[in-house]
Amino acid sequence: MPVIDTRPSDESSLVLHSIGAVERSSGLSKDTLRVWERRYGFPRPQRDEHGERVYRSDDIEKLRLIKRLIDRGYRPGKIVDLPAADLRTLTETLGEDDTPPGLQRLIDALKGHRAAELHSHLAQLMVRDGLDRFILNTVAPLNYHVGVAWMKGQIEVHEEHVYTEMIQSLLRGAVGSLPASERAPTVLLTTFPNELHSLGILMVQALLGGKGANCISLGTQTPIEDIVAAAKGHQADVVALSFSAAFPTGHLLDGLSELRERLPPRVDLWVGGGHPALTRRNIDGLTVVTRLDEVGALLEAWRATHRAR
């Protein structure tokens, strides 16, 4: 593994990077980088004495901008040729701003790196409103607006990380201090492989746990095979999954029908999250939860139909 981190040759940082380093710092795979070079002519790195690619820092910067735009729905072919300045203006012009002032103050604290202030503010809200209302009125909308701000490039990656981490910490703390319950139903929460977003299942776990359901979280990325095994092992009544908007639609539909097929029929399958396919398509034998505040009613409905066990 060659380390191609040549010292700066002039005052500007002209550090050079191997394709492996670029893969790491841009999130684009080596295959993708090579095929872009072939097709679009960008990036066209220099070569070292052995013919291996050597990328300049400002090319990496541009790759990062492109990646951000792609995550927002732009297509590579349309934007790879644009100069970096145009890309930057593109990132700044998207999404309208109607964030309520209460939430805006929290977002400002996040952007201002006032982590302690943000944390105490959130904790205060949780105590004041109670877990249920805190999630429905604060966390869920805040998630949305942080997402919008991120799309517009107003929030840095690390700021988004701090936010996610903080919400997780608060919710998990709250979940952990809920009174242990063995009351039905037993709900298994998780996501499919390649779905990293854990806030969705965490919010649902908190909501259900608050109403006395027996929640068991598997965290993220559980293979279908192991979801089935876990449902049997824990004698779950419900399996709950969450999908963010970025999850590939084909995998979602295939995975859900496979899971439905392999799960015992008596086990309910609840699916939620921001994925667009959930509201459009229709798969037999599963319950789609489009809004968080439906969760409580769903639980009640389950208990009503299973009262006489």
Partner DNA sequence: TTGAACAATTTGTCTAGGACAAAAGTATGA
Partner DNA sequence: TCATACTTTTGTCCTAGACAAATTGTTCAA
Report the nearest approach of a second copy to the CB of residue 226 (Å): 4
113 binds, among a second copy, DNA, none (CB under 5 to 8 A by kind): a second copy
DSSP string, 118-184: HHHHHHHHHHHH-HHHIIIIIIHHHHHHHHHHHHTT-S-HHHHHHHHHHHHHHHHHHHHTSPP--PS
Q: Which residues would be at the binding site for DNA (CB under 7 A)?
A: 1-3, 18-20, 29-32, 34-36, 38-39, 50-53, 70, 73, 75-78, 248-251, 253, 280
User: Whole-number minimum distance, CB 282 to DNA, in Å?
Assistant: 10
Q: What whole-number distance in Å separates Cα of residue 61 and Cα of residue 291?
A: 38
Region binding a second copy by CB under 8 A among candidate stretches 38-46, 174-182, 239-247, 285-293: 174-182
57 CB-side CA count, 13 A: 9
From 33-41, 127-135, 164-172, 279-287, give the range in contact with a second copy by CB under 8 A: 164-172
The CA radius of gyration of the chain, in Å to the nearest whole number, is 23
Question: Residue 193, interface with a second copy (CB under 8 A)?
Answer: yes
21 is an interface residue for a second copy by CB under 8 A: yes
Structure tokens at 173: 């703390």
Ranges within 255-274 binding a second copy (CB under 8 A):
255, 257-258, 261
Which of a second copy, DNA, none interacts with 52 (beta carbon under 5 to 8 A by kind)?
A: DNA
| 96 CB-side CA count, 13 A | 1
Most distant CA pair in the chain, distance: 78
Map residues 45-74 to x or -, x wherever contact with a second copy holds by CB under 8 A.
Answer: -------------------x----------
**Between 157-176 and 115-129, two packed helices, what is the crossing angle to 10 degrees?**
40
Instruction: Tokens for 55, please give them.
Output: 């990328």
Query: Taking CB under 8 A as the criterion, which residues in 104-163 touch a second copy?
Result: 113, 115-116, 119-120, 123, 156-159, 161-162
Which residue lies nearer to DNA by CB, 55 or 302? 55
Question: Do the Cβ atoms of 227 and 195 come closer than 8 Å?
Answer: no
Q: Shortest gap between Cβ of 98 and a second copy (angstroms)?
A: 27
Interacting partner of 38 out of a second copy, DNA, none (Cβ under 5 to 8 A depending on kind):
DNA
CB of 68 to a second copy, least distance (A): 12
CA 56 vs CA 10, 21, 60: distances in Å: 13, 11, 7
Q: Is 53 exposed, middle or buried (0-12, 13-18, 19+ CB in 10 A)?
A: buried
Residue 5 interacting with a second copy (CB under 8 A): yes
In the chain, which ranges are E strands? Answer: 46-47, 53-54, 186-190, 214-217, 238-242, 268-272, 287-289
CB of 280 to DNA, least distance (A): 7
Binding site for a second copy (CB under 8 A): 1, 3, 5, 7, 13, 15, 18, 20-21, 24-25, 27, 64, 113, 115-116, 119-120, 123, 156-159, 161-162, 164-165, 168-170, 172-177, 180, 182, 190, 192-194, 196, 214, 216-219, 221-227, 229-230, 233-234, 248-251, 253-255, 257-258, 261
